[in-house]
Each structure stands twice: as structure tokens, then as C-alpha cells.
Structure 1
Amino acid sequence: MSGVSLKCGDCGTLFKSVEEAQEHAELTSHANFSESTEAVLNLVCTSCGKPCRSKTESDLHTKRTGHTEFTDKTAEAVKPISLEVPKPKPNDDEDMAEGGDGGTGQHEEMVVPEVDQNLLSELETMGFPKARAIRALHFSGNASLEAAVNWVVEHESDPDIDETPMVPASAKKAEASKPSLTPEEIKMKQQELKERARKKKEEEDRQREREREKERIRIGKELLEAKRIEEDNERKRIIALRKAEKAEEQRAREKIRQKLEEDKAERRRKLGLPPEDPASPKPSTAPVVEEKKSSFLPVRPATKAERMRECLRTLKQAHKDDDAKVKTAFNTLLTYAKNVATNPNEEKFRKIRLSNAAFQDRIGKLQGGIEFLEHCGFEKIEGGEFLYLPREKVDMAVLNTAGTELNNAIKNPFFGVL
């Protein structure tokens, strides 16, 4: 079916001709029109004969007059719409060439267009200049205050925004002859504008929500990647710790083997037997050296670590028949080192009374216990009554070394066997 009307894509209004569409465009600045197969309604009131072009108009007519009976004559008026722009008559061109007004040489009088005075007053109260307010109401079709404000916002950069619009007197008369919108019609248009603004806001909210969802997904991926990297690092640390424990176990086994060889040689000497042939192969100690080179232990002062390890080995060998006492001593020393490393500014963690019964029972009476604390930086003060670690001498590297050695001694079942 060919087009029978023109439809405004901005407000949805239907028009019977190009002239009506042009007039609507001049009043509202709408420019999006398309051919439509939907016919313009022609509802004629059976009581007074007034034609209504939409259901909204018929409803408003019913409210004003109480007339409820309408005859639908839309089909009678339907005809294909002509999209050709009407050409001006020849005498119109002559009038334009001569200055208008039918060849008299006189310009047609230009006047200020009629606008809704109530809306004009409200715009002036809001602070808009009178010329700008008149221009906004004229070009928005006197539809509503909101429509006028929106027009000002959209055209505030126009160079003539503050110039009073002028229209031909004949156009003003024609406009005055048009029926003005009733309060109900104005209210309906305002409702349409509000509904349009609400839908636009909902679409913007949905767009923002989609953007927020994309951002949440991106952050989630970054957190998962960070967690994966952290787990990889933790796995590598555990592997390094296990290798260090195996190295310590290997060193302990090697020392046991060497001790057995020495005991064997001593027994042969006491029995008057000749020593073993030096040419006989002996287990190489190279693996021990190799393990030290490939140790995964953190880099720390070697001499300090060896001294601490020797103190712990001495303590365990001196009390090898009392594993509970050795374990308690190791855990107590670990607690002292950990407290100082965690709270270096707290003096109570850096000062130990040597006469304390609990300290003496756990550390003081055991060979190597106080010496281990001295390697951590503690010093005897006040005539040997206290062990004290000055704040300026707190060395985190030394305390970390002490913690590592104590952990190895506690977890390694072969530590200090000799």
C-alpha cells in the first residue's frame, strides 16, 4: 500500500500533506519525517460536526462538550499523499522580486509572534531574557515550559538566541486564528514529554549498568590473575623449603656416616689393628658441598647462621634424651625472635630477666640457649641480671636467620643427631 500520510519521527504526529508537515517543522524544529501507510483519523462528532484527527482530540472534545458519539470517516478521506513541495505561483515570484505585497513594492509588516503569556512570565521568572523566552516559546510551538527550556538548552549557542523573532503580520493572524491548546491538551503534551524523558533516562541507566558490569568483569579477571600469581609464588616457596630440608637431612646423614667411620677407626686403634688401607675408596663428601652451592635458603650472613646452628646442635646433643625439653627450648627461642621482629619498638620484648624461673627452666639452664640469644643481638646488662637488645641494634636479617634455623631444627628429625 502506498503512503497516505507523513509521520513525524520525533513526536509521532501524522499529517495529510507536505504543507502541514512543513508548518509543524517550523513550529517545533522537528525534521525527521517519513512516509506512512497509517491514515490520519477523521472522527466527526455527530452532535456538532467537529472533526477530530486523533483519539486524544476526540477524548478532549468529549471532556469539554460531553459529546460522546463520533463517526469514523477516515476511509472516505484516505488518498495517496503527494510528496511534491508546492511551487510558488508566478505572481508570488514577482512579488518577491519587487519586495512583496503583490507588486506594490512595499514589504509586508513584520511583528512579534504571539506566545503563551503565562509560560513567558514563568520563563522570565526563571531568569531568561524576554527575547530568548519569546524565541523559545515560538519555535517550541508554545507546547510547555519544559519544551521551551529544552529548546533553549539545544540552541543556546545560536548567534541570534537573544534576538526577538519576527513573523509576517499575516502569519501572526493565521496563528491567532488557530485554536489554542486547552489545559487538558497541554497537560497531555506535558505527559508525553515526561514519558519520553523517562524512557531516555531508563536507556541511559541501562547503558551505565552495562558499563559497570563490564568494569566488574575486568576487575574480577585481574583479581583472579593476581590470586593465581600468588599461588604460584607460594608453591615455589614451599618447593624451595622442602629442598632446603632435604639438604639439611643429607648433611645430617653424612655427619653420622663420618662419625661411624671415626668410631670404627678408633676401635681398630684400641684393638691394635692396623688402620684401613688408605687406598680403599671412601664416600665422597662432594654432595654436601654441592648441596651448599645449590641451597635455596635465603641469602644471609653465613658465619652468623653457622654459629646459631651450632648453638642449637649443641643444645640438642646435650639433652638428646629429653626431646620434650629440647622442643620447648627451640619454640621459646623462636617466640623471642618472632616477638622482637614483629614489635621492634616494644622494650618488653627486647629485655629478659635472667633470674626468671620460667626462663631458666626453658633456656637459661640449657647449654647453648643464652649463647643463641647473644648471636641474635642480646647483651648482658646491669651486672648480668638482664639480657637486653638495644633498639638501634635490632637487625631484621639476623632475626630472620634465627627464625629459619629454629624452624629447620624443629621440623628436621635428623637435626643435631651427633
Structure 2
Amino acid sequence: MAGVSLKCGDCGALLKSVEEAQEHAELTSHSNFSESTEAVLNLVCSSCGKPCRSKTESDLHTKRTGHTNFVDKTSETAKPISLEVPKVVDDSAGAMDVDGSSSSQPEEMIVPEVDKKLLEELEAMGFSAARATRALHYSGNGSIEAAVNWVVEHENDPDIDQMPLVPANTKVESPNPSLTPEEIKIRAQELKYGVNLVPEEAYNERIRIGKELLEAKRIEEDNERKRLMALRKAEKEEEKRAREKIRQKLEEDKAERRRKLGLPPEDPATVKPSAPAVEEKKSSLPIRPATKVEQMRECLRSLKQNHKDDDAKVKRAFQTLLTYVGNVAKNPNEEKFRKIRLNNQTFQDRVGALTGGIEFLELCGFEKIEGGEFLFLAREKVEMVVLNSAGSELSSAINNPFFGVL
């Protein structure tokens, strides 16, 4: 079967004539063409009669117009392709007959005209005149970039440094002298697929859809951010209410303990107005004074509360007090265990500098002597019951993680 089209071996485009192949070559720099028995499609719209050369073009036509019915007239329009390049008939010189045979002397070949300014720039860049002229001619004579790209793609061609020649009677001009390299690429795609792949309507539609997608995504992210903020706010409110309940419970328990110990309230403003009335109704009996054990426990609680930001320091103070009390209980006759220098740096760091440390030792029987320089527990004032109770309270304070919380 005879060839009905020319196929570009570089991109696969089907072209109906030699002219189209030449234009395709000039725009894309493709040079590998061969005859093909595959005809260029001719899909004619039944509604408006527009011919479409490819399925892509018909799909875009349907999208733009809504027309869906096409008649395939490819077989009707397909005809054997002529590989002869049409030549201009010069009646005055009688150079060609109608059948294309030469009737006189061979055609004169000349160097094609190219943009002189671009040619000078290419020569200034180091290209030879022949290479620069060839690059400008075959790249469309449009820009320096297109010419340089053509040279890079064809630098291994055997005739790269030969001056190009065209028939003298052929008007040589750039196919699209005003096109930019980007426009040349788009035109090459038009030749390949037979349709403008980026029509203005489709381009605008894509822009609109893109903007809508971005706006939808922004709104979704904004709603998700608002939802998370509302959730965090609700969690903080719930946490705040829980903390307030715990604080109220602690205040009530603290007021109750101070009442049992016979101590006045720390701040009357924090005591609920109903509390005194309830207490008065509970019993008319006099409040008993707090025992020494209760005073020790309250002293340790106060120490922990006053230094609640440093658990390690509180625990070290409790362990140091337990060591002092234990040494006296085990060795009541040893004066060195019953006498503590107050200005001793180790004692100050561990116990003396903490509110409640010295008070606890005084509850155990220690007294300040020699102008407050020492804490001393006289032998006759050593009470094993008191020391054992102090040791039990200290052990509880050390081992109970909730000690002093309530």
C-alpha cells in the first residue's frame, strides 16, 4: 500500500504533506521522517462540520462545544502522499515545466537570509559564520537561545560547518519570526497532535479550577484549625474546672487540719462563710490541742508545700532529719549526735535553709544554745517515744508519694 502520510521518527507525529514535514522540522529540529501507511485522522463534527485531525483534538472540541458526534472521513480524504517538493514555476525564465521536469539550466542556490544582528551575536560568542547561519536558518531565525539549542543538538552533524543553501527564487523567511521559543514549542505540539493543546478556553478553565481547588483546600484547613482550637479551648476549660475542684478540696482539707491542730486559719478570706457555722453546729466541746505527732506531721507538710517546686530538695531534707533522729535514738548517750552547729554549710543546705526544718528538730526536743549557734538535745530530755514517732512520720513522708498533697 502506498504511503498516505509522513511519520516523524523522533516524536511519532503524522503529517499530511512534505510542506508540513518541513515546517515540523524547522520548528522541532526533527529530521527523521519516513513514509507511513497510517492516514492522518479526519474526524468531522456532525454539528458544526469542524474537522479534527486527532482524538485529542476531538475531545477538546467536545469539551469546548458539547458536540459529541463525529464522522470518520479519514478513508475518504486519505490519498497517496507526494514526496516531491513543490517548486515555484518561473514563467519568465522557463526554469520548470508543469510536470516538474527541468527544461533549462539547474536552479541557482544561494545562502539564506538570516537576522544579521543575531548572526553577529552568535559570531561574537565564538561560532563560525557557517554554523551560526545554519543554526539561525534551521531554528526559525527567531532567537539566540533557539539557535544555540539547535547547535547543541546538531553539533555532531557532518555538515554542521557548511553554509546552508536554498534555491535563489525561493523567498526564505522565518516561519514565525515573531514567535518566542515557548511559542515555537507550542506550535510544534500543534503539528504533532493536530490541535492546540493549550487553547485559551481550556487554559482559563484550568486556572479557574486550580483557584477553586486552592480555595477549597484553604477553607478546609481553616475549618480544621478552628475545630482544633475549639477542642483545645474545651480541654483547657475542663482542665481549669478540674484544677479548681482540686484546689477547693485542698483548701477545705487544709482548713480542717488546722482546725484539728488548734491553729488559726492562714487567711480568713479563703475560708468559706458557711464553714464556721457548720463547725459551730458540729460540737460545742472545746477543741483539744494538737498532739506533738500531729504538729510534726503538719510541720513536714508545711516544709513540702513551701518547697513543692523542688521535690529532690524536700526528699533530701526528710532523709537528713531521719538521720539526725535515728542517730540520737540509737546512741542517746553520744553528745556528738545530740549537738548540731547551725552555721554548718551542709546542715544549712540540707535542712537549715528550708522553712520547717529547724522547727521539726525543736519538736523532737532540740533547743538553741550559746546564742543560737547550736541546736542541742539534753540527755535528760531524750524521749524515745517522741523520737520513734518522728522517725515514723519522716518515713511516711519519704515513702508516701501523696504526702502533703491533700
| TM norm structure 2 | 0.31
Larger helix fraction of residues? 1
| TM norm structure 1 | 0.31
